[in-house]
């Protein structure tokens, strides 16, 4: 870092640069890129039973969770917590390995699909699923789309070809007409959510949805194949009903309260494993709005806005917590703010989005401080917390998220055991051209914390 700093001067504030360098020196930065580089993304899940049902772009792999569970030395009478559970990878993998788990997420679509994936099904329920699937095949050709259904989901028609959208709506009507409730109907709705991106003319990309033409021409067949694939996993890889697991809709900043409300008192918190949203300005609700609308989790843009207000400040939004902020966070915010005029002079354009980033940085670390505080209150002495996080960069200014979270954690009863470097992180080609040092310095890491007495 010192060589890069002296050569490229990434930070104009010398105090900030020196402080970041002191954190690099203070902590045990351990390079495990060869082992972890393929484990910190979702790609390993595409062929894994249960995990493969829903493609969650921001998720990490089940093999990463398996490794961290092993390192945590959790016991059978303890459970694992993931306060940003996303697609449920942590809780599901814990259950497959024989450990209890609790997942929390603010996205109702995420909590729904995660809960369905973690459920167990007996022989009678499997038989009912098979019967319902045959019923869907018989009902579909005769189904006529009602006007109220067309109107209800009209907000999403622009994301699909007319043919695929009509087929998708007809499947939804058939699902509503099935004579089943609870676990079985939830499974069929989950399968429906799992195919939405695949049959749409959109692809999750960066901060939203990018246009691309779907390769699926028969939505019904695609849906049936998805349910059959899910059923194969349920039959061949039975989950143990005796293992406690639960998914709660809620905020990571309410972790302690949510844990205290658990009905199962036979297990206690043994480890926390999570990957929070990164401070990268990505609005993850924008990426999953098709599923939110078509799954009836929201009805309008106001509902979507309400969800955004509850999320961690990983993207530009109002409501920044302006409580007392650590000096290094203020320095980081000011560093980005001071670099904006130079960019605007270079491009000749006012950069509205980047002007909001300094406030986002303050809000993000204030929110994450509360999550870390809650983690400390939840865990007992000697228990570990693993935070998988990416560094980000704005205008060539590296935001060392892993170092800052480690520093915050030390204020809440944690020791920083190590920071594991998993892979080199990427940034935009535009930034790399202007600031080539980013290619060598940005990283994705696991911050390993241990609760002190």
User: In the predicted model, what is the mean pLDDT of residues 120-149?
Assistant: 84
71-77 long-range contacts (CB < 8 A, ≥24 apart) are 71/384, 71/386, 72/270, 72/271, 72/273, 72/383, 72/384, 72/386, 73/384, 74/99, 74/270, 74/271, 75/270, 77/266, 77/267, 77/268
**The pLDDT value given to residue 262:** 80
Query: Residue 294 domain-assigned?
Result: no
Query: Residue 258 domain-assigned?
Result: yes
C-alpha span between 404 and 384 (Å, rounded): 18
CATH code, domain carrying 442: 3.40.50.150
Band of pLDDT at residue 429, cut at 50, 70 and 90: confident
User: In the predicted model, what is the mean pLDDT of residues 186-192?
Assistant: 97
- What percentage of the chain exceeds 90 in pLDDT? 71
Whether 338 shows a pLDDT value over 60: the answer reads yes
Query: Residue 374 domain-assigned?
Result: yes
| CA-to-CA dists, residue 240 to 68, 272, 281, angstroms | 21, 22, 39
Whether 276 shows a pLDDT value over 70: the answer reads yes
Q: How far is CA 234 from the centre of its chain?
A: 24
C-alpha span between 96 and 159 (Å, rounded): 36
Q: Are strands 100-105 and 384-390 parallel, antiparallel or unpaired?
A: unpaired
What is the dihedral sign for C-alpha 34, 75, 406, 397?
positive
Identify whether residues 440 and 327 lie together within a single domain.
yes
Q: Are strands 245-249 and 100-105 parallel, antiparallel or unpaired?
A: parallel
Report which of residues 316 and 222 the model is more confident about. 222
| CA-to-CA dists, residue 352 to 58, 355, 398, 413, 428, angstroms | 26, 5, 20, 39, 18
Q: Are strands 392-394 and 443-451 parallel, antiparallel or unpaired?
A: unpaired
- Compute φ and ψ for 316, nearest 5 degrees: -70, 115
User: In the predicted model, what is the mean pLDDT of residues 170-192?
Assistant: 90
Angle, vertex CA 278, rays to CA 276 and CA 284, nearest 5: 85
Whether 324 shows a pLDDT value over 60: the answer reads yes
* Contact criterion met (CB below 8 Å) for 372 and 409: yes
Report which of residues 319 and 331 the model is more confident about. 331
**The pLDDT value given to residue 141:** 63
Report which of residues 180 and 63 the model is more confident about. 63
Q: What is the pTM of this model?
A: 0.94
215-223 long-range contacts (CB < 8 A, ≥24 apart) are 216/164, 217/163, 218/167, 219/164, 219/167, 219/168, 219/171, 219/195, 220/140, 220/167, 220/170, 220/171, 222/195, 222/198, 223/171, 223/191, 223/192, 223/195
Q: pLDDT, tens digit, for every residue of 15-71?
A: 999 999 999 999 999 999 999 988 877 777 778 999 999 988 777 889 999 999 999
What is the dihedral sign for C-alpha 174, 176, 180, 181?
positive
Query: Which pair of structure tokens corresponds to residue 104?
Result: 């929390």
**The pLDDT value given to residue 137:** 82
Domain boundary among 205, 236, 267: 236
Whether 3 shows a pLDDT value over 60: the answer reads no
Report which of residues 138 and 400 the model is more confident about. 400
What is the rounded end-to-end Cα distance, in angstroms, of the chain?
Answer: 34
Identify whether residues 192 and 326 lie together within a single domain.
no
Whether 115 shows a pLDDT value over 80: the answer reads yes
SS3 37: coil
**The pLDDT value given to residue 431:** 85
* Contact criterion met (CB below 8 Å) for 350 and 356: no
Band of pLDDT at residue 142, cut at 50, 70 and 90: low
Identify whether residues 148 and 255 lie together within a single domain.
no
Identify whether residues 363 and 251 lie together within a single domain.
yes
Specify the residue for token string 């080609």. 429
Query: Residue 284 domain-assigned?
Result: no
Query: Residue 447 domain-assigned?
Result: yes
**The pLDDT value given to residue 208:** 86
**The pLDDT value given to residue 26:** 96
Query: Residue 47 domain-assigned?
Result: yes
Identify whether residues 244 and 230 lie together within a single domain.
no
Checking phi first, is residue 391 left (phi over 0); if not, alpha (psi -120 to 50) or beta? beta
User: In the predicted model, what is the mean pLDDT of residues 208-236?
Assistant: 95
Band of pLDDT at residue 278, cut at 50, 70 and 90: confident
Q: Name the domain count of the chain.
A: 2
C-alpha span between 174 and 178 (Å, rounded): 7
* Contact criterion met (CB below 8 Å) for 198 and 216: yes
Query: Residue 296 domain-assigned?
Result: no
- What percentage of the chain exceeds 70 in pLDDT? 94
Query: Residue 48 domain-assigned?
Result: yes
CB-hemisphere CA count at 13 Å for 441?
24
User: In the predicted model, what is the mean pLDDT of residues 370-399?
Assistant: 96
Rounded to 10 deg, the angle between the 183-199 and 123-139 helix axes is 50
User: In the predicted model, what is the mean pLDDT of residues 123-127?
Assistant: 94
C-alpha span between 242 and 122 (Å, rounded): 13
Look up the domain containing 171 and give its range.
123-236
Identify whether residues 71 and 102 lie together within a single domain.
yes
Identify whether residues 206 and 256 lie together within a single domain.
no
Identify whether residues 173 and 249 lie together within a single domain.
no
**The pLDDT value given to residue 321:** 56
Identify whether residues 230 and 251 lie together within a single domain.
no
Identify whether residues 156 and 187 lie together within a single domain.
yes
Band of pLDDT at residue 223, cut at 50, 70 and 90: very high
Identify whether residues 175 and 253 lie together within a single domain.
no
Domain boundary among 184, 215, 236: 236
C-alpha span between 260 and 242 (Å, rounded): 21
Lowest average pLDDT, out of 179-188, 258-267, 329-338, goes to 258-267
Domain boundary among 236, 268, 291: 236
Identify whether residues 61 and 127 lie together within a single domain.
no
């Amino acid at each position: 870092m010192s060589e890069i700093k002296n050569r490229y001067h990434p930070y104009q504030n010398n105090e900030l640069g020196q402080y970041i360098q002191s954190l690099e020196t203070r902590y045990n930065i351990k390079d495990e890129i060869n082992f972890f580089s393929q484990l910190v993304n979702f790609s390993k899940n595409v062929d894994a039973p249960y995990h493969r049902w829903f493609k969650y772009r921001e998720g990490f792999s089940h093999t990463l969770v398996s490794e961290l569970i092993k390192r945590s030395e959790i016991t059978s009478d303890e459970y694992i917590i993931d306060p940003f559970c996303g697609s449920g990878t942590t809780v599901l993998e814990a259950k497959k390995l024989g450990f209890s788990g609790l997942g929390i997420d603010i996205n109702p679509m995420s909590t729904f699909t995660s809960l369905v994936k973690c459920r167990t099904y007996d022989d009678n329920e499997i038989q009912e699923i098979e019967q319902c699937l045959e019923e869907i095949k018989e009902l579909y050709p005769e189904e006529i789309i009602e006007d109220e259904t067309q109107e209800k989901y009209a907000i999403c028609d622009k994301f699909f070809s007319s043919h695929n959208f009509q087929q998708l709506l007809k499947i939804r009507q058939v699902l509503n007409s099935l004579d089943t409730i609870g676990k079985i109907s939830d499974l069929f709705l989950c399968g429906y959510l799992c195919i939405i991106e695949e049959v749409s003319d959109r692809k999750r990309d960066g901060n939203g949805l990018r246009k691309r033409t779907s390769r699926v021409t028969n939505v019904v067949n695609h849906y049936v194949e998805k349910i059959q694939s899910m059923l194969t996993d349920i039959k061949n890889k039975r989950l143990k009903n005796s293992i406690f697991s639960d998914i709660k809709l809620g905020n990571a900043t309410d972790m302690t309260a949510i844990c205290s409300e658990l009905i199962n008192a036979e297990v206690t918190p043994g480890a926390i494993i999570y990957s929070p949203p990164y401070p990268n300005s990505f609005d993850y609700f924008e990426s999953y709005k098709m599923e939110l609308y078509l799954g009836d989790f929201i009805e309008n843009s106001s509902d979507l806005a309400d969800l955004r207000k509850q999320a961690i400040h990983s993207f530009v939004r109002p409501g920044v917590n302006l409580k007392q902020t650590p000096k290094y966070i203020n320095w980081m915010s000011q560093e980005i703010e001071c670099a904006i005029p130079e960019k605007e002079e270079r491009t000749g354009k006012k950069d509205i989005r980047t002007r909001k980033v300094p406030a986002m940085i303050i809000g993000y670390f204030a929110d994450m401080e509360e999550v870390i505080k809650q983690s400390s209150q939840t865990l007992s002495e000697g228990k570990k917390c693993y935070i998988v996080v990416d560094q980000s960069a704005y205008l060539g200014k590296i935001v060392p998220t892993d170092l800052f979270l480690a520093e915050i954690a030390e204020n809440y009863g944690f020791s920083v055991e190590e920071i594991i470097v998993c892979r080199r992180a990427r940034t935009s080609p535009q930034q790399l051209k202007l600031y080539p040092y980013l290619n060598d310095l940005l990283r994705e890491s696991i911050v390993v914390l241990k609760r002190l007495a």
